[in-house]
Structure formats: structure tokens, C-alpha cells
Chain A
Amino acid sequence: MSIPHGLETLHFSFTGTQPAGRFAPVLVGVVGSGNLEVMIEPLADSGAAGECRLEVSTSARGFAPIWRAVAEDFHARHPLGGVLISINDMGATPAVVNLRLDQAVAQMRSAQP
């Protein structure tokens, strides 16, 4: 797949130990300058252990190693399984990305029974 000029797409996958179970999709954040939106949805057919898949679309090209580090940190904090995390990013810093990811997980859990 060709990457359109200015946008970069990144994919990360982890094996989770905490199955997220069923939940309504959650969206936090806004695609604005230095900000991002994070959506968490249940991931069907994610295997017995439970996959945590991250799909990132970002306007800041060339930061794949930093995204990988942020994703690994997130997985260490929340080893979720059975979730698809989709991100539209407009140049958020790693700290902002971390906060948004934690906000999304908190909102997902607060809506669960």
C-alpha cells in the first residue's frame, strides 16, 4: 500500500493477558493540532490469548520507533486482549498519546458492568 504524502500508517500487535470482554466502542480526544483521537473497539477473532492491535494514522512522519515505544509502554500498563485501538494523530507528543490511551481505557472500563 502506498503511503499518501504527509500521512504515515503504523501497525502494532501485542498478545494481551487481560481479556477486555464486551464493551461499547469508546472515542476520546479530537484530531486537532498536537492532539489525537483514540478509539477502542472489541476485536473479534483475536485468538485464545487475545490480541491487542494498534492502528495509527499520523501526519508526523518518521516517528515509528517512538510510536513503538509508546505502544509497548501502553501494553506494559494495560496488557489488554481482544481490543482494536485506532488512532488518528495530528502531531501529538508521546505524553499526550499516553494520556489519551489511558483516558480511553478508563472510559472503556467505567462503561463496563
Chain B
Amino acid sequence: MSLANPLQASFAESTARERVLQLLDAGSFTEILGPSARVMSPHLSQLGVPSSFDDGVIVGEGRLGDQAVLVAAQEGEFMGGGVGEVHGAKLVGLFQRALRQRPAAVLVLAESGGVRLHEANAGLIAVSEVMRALLATRAAGIPTLMLIGGANGCFGGMGLVARCADHVVMSDAARLSMSGPEVIESSHGVEEFDAKDRALVWRTTGGKHRYLMGDCDVLVDDQLGAFRAAALQLLGQARPLTLEALEHEHALLAGRLADHGDAADAVDIWRRLGIADAPSVVNLDAAELRLLKHPAQEGAQP
């Protein structure tokens, strides 16, 4: 990165390692089970697929605004950020460490297509264990933050993990969903969802739509510094995991289906949300969209 200020660099175009180093206070990161530990996938080499020394996820501890945090970052360029057995175990271990250390937050820089299909059941079990560990961390009152800004988005099992967390931060370049575009197209047909229509894909799963729908709490520009600022503001802010909160969430989802279930496109939903010039949403930057959603709060957010 040759930019004068590396915090202005694109989050999407940085590697997972670069993201961690720029997000945390300079020089504060200590990796756990780093690449020289060679804790690698036991499955990939048997299939003739190259492994990675860190199995595609970096975990460790550091400081953010001089507060202790634990952090994980998935590398989307390795196996699409897919969660395998070791990859998942590193995430689980990080959340279990949080229960002992009680950091100001656990940050997950998620970029993943979901379960790493090469590892089949081991990957599926890994994702469910990550969810359980994340929820245990939340139940202990330790905030969990998902920072989603990679080009591969956050899909499948990791999409579910993301929505289990206290807070979701996204850029407009990021996507968050359960089934990926190709999965929807192959199961429901191209008339239902054309995965090659990039504008459609981003309108439906992108950060702007997620922010307007409330699945994403903070929308930021695609800059490392913007993600850092957003994470700083959310430190120490846990959302109580109560039955009332869950029932409220269920009511919101039921209401969403009732209100928007018949909408053919995200633009229709934005119009129903009261946005007069709904088609223009795709051209707005993060600050303009925050202003659109919360006219009074702009300036208070990163």
C-alpha cells in the first residue's frame, strides 16, 4: 500500500492480514496459531488441493483505541473464505478465549462463502460450533462485531454467524446473505434470480439494502479507516441476548415478510420504506444513505 495514509486504503482490496494490522492500534496485534505453527487443514491435501499455513483465517489479540480486543479475519482469496475444520476451530477458540479474557469486543472481519464444501460434515459442524461459541460470548455480555467488507461477501454459514452477532458493520461494496446468487439461480431458476446481473445482486444482498432493512447496523465507505472508526464506536456495546429481544426480532422478520414479501425488487421495498427517489439509492455514498435513514443522527456516526 503506497497511499500516504494506509487507513484510506480499500478494505475490499486489502488482504485479511493487512486489514487486521490497519484496523488495530499500530503494533498491538499478536497472532495466535500463526502461519509458522502450521495448523493446517487435514482434508485438503488428501483431495489434492493446496492448503494454507493459517487455513485462511487469522486470529489473535490486540488493542483498539487502547482497549483490549480479540480479532479474527477470514481471507476470502483462499477457498473463498470457506470454513473448514481447522478454520472453524480457530474461530471457536477465539470466542472461548474471550470468555476468559473479557475483551472490549470480539471483532470478526468476515469474508466467506460459508462452509468449505471439501470438508463436508466437518465444515458444517465447525460453523455450528462457531455460532454456539459466538452466542456464549454474547451471553457473557461481551460484544461481538462483524465487519463485512470483502469482495466475496459473507454468505452461507458465515451469513448466519454474522446475524447472530451484536453488531454488523458493512461497506456498500460488501454483501451479506444466506444463499449466494448462484445457489438461488440454480435452485429457483434464472427468472427468479439472475446471478450474472451484478446490479441486481448488490441491490438485493449489498450493504446499502442490508442497512436500509436493519440487518446491518452501520454502513461505512470501503476504507480501512472507516471500519476502524465504526468498530471503535461499538466497543463495549453489548446487546442483551434475551427472550424479549429474540421475540422482537421474530416479529420484525414476520413484519418484513408481510410488508415486502410480494416485492419484485429491492427498489420496490425502498419505495415502500418512504424513499421518494428509490432508484437513486444505488448512486448514494455511505454518508448520504445514513442521512436518508437517520436524518437527525448524521454526524454522530463514523
The interface residues of chain A lying within 8 Å CB-to-CB of B46 are: 4
In angstroms, how far is the closest chain A Cβ from the Cβ of B39? 13
A31 and B47 form a contact (CB under 8 A)? no
- With contacts A4-B45, A41-B36 taken as known, whether A59 is within 8 angstroms of B78 at the C-beta atoms is no
B78 and A5 form a contact (CB under 8 A)? no
In angstroms, how far is the closest chain A Cβ from the Cβ of B223? 21
B36 and A25 form a contact (CB under 8 A)? yes
Q: Counting CB contacts under 8 A, is B15 at the interface?
A: yes
A39 and B78 form a contact (CB under 8 A)? no
Give A91 to B52 CA distance when docked, in angstroms. 14
The interface residues of chain B lying within 8 Å CB-to-CB of A25 are: 34-36
- With contacts A25-B35, A30-B78, A32-B78 taken as known, whether A88 is within 8 angstroms of B48 at the C-beta atoms is no
The interface residues of chain B lying within 8 Å CB-to-CB of A39 are: 35-36, 53
Select from chain A the residue with minimum beta-carbon distance to B40.
Answer: A88
A88 and B50 form a contact (CB under 8 A)? yes
Give A65 to B50 CA distance when docked, in angstroms. 20
A27 and B17 form a contact (CB under 8 A)? yes
Interface residues on A, range: 20 to 34
- With contacts A7-B50, A88-B50 taken as known, whether A27 is within 8 angstroms of B35 at the C-beta atoms is yes
The interface residues of chain B lying within 8 Å CB-to-CB of A4 are: 45-48
Q: Counting CB contacts under 8 A, is A51 at the interface?
A: no
Q: Counting CB contacts under 8 A, is B8 at the interface?
A: no
The interface residues of chain A lying within 8 Å CB-to-CB of B77 are: 30-32, 35
In angstroms, how far is the closest chain B Cβ from the Cβ of A36? 8
In angstroms, how far is the closest chain B Cβ from the Cβ of A96? 13
Select from chain B the residue with minimum beta-carbon distance to A42.
Answer: B36
Give A30 to B79 CA distance when docked, in angstroms. 10
Give A39 to B17 CA distance when docked, in angstroms. 14
Q: Chain B interface (Cβ within 8 Å of chain A)?
A: 15, 17, 34-36, 45-54, 56, 75, 77-79
Other A-B contacts than A32-B78, A59-B49, 18 sampled, CB-CB below 8 A, are A4-B48, A5-B48, A7-B49, A25-B35, A25-B36, A27-B54, A30-B15, A30-B75, A31-B77, A32-B77, A35-B77, A37-B35, A37-B52, A37-B53, A39-B36, A57-B45, A86-B53, A90-B50
User: Can you list 10 A-B pairs, Cβ within 8 angstroms, ordered by A?
Assistant: A7-B49, A25-B34, A27-B53, A30-B75, A30-B78, A31-B77, A31-B79, A39-B35, A59-B48, A88-B50
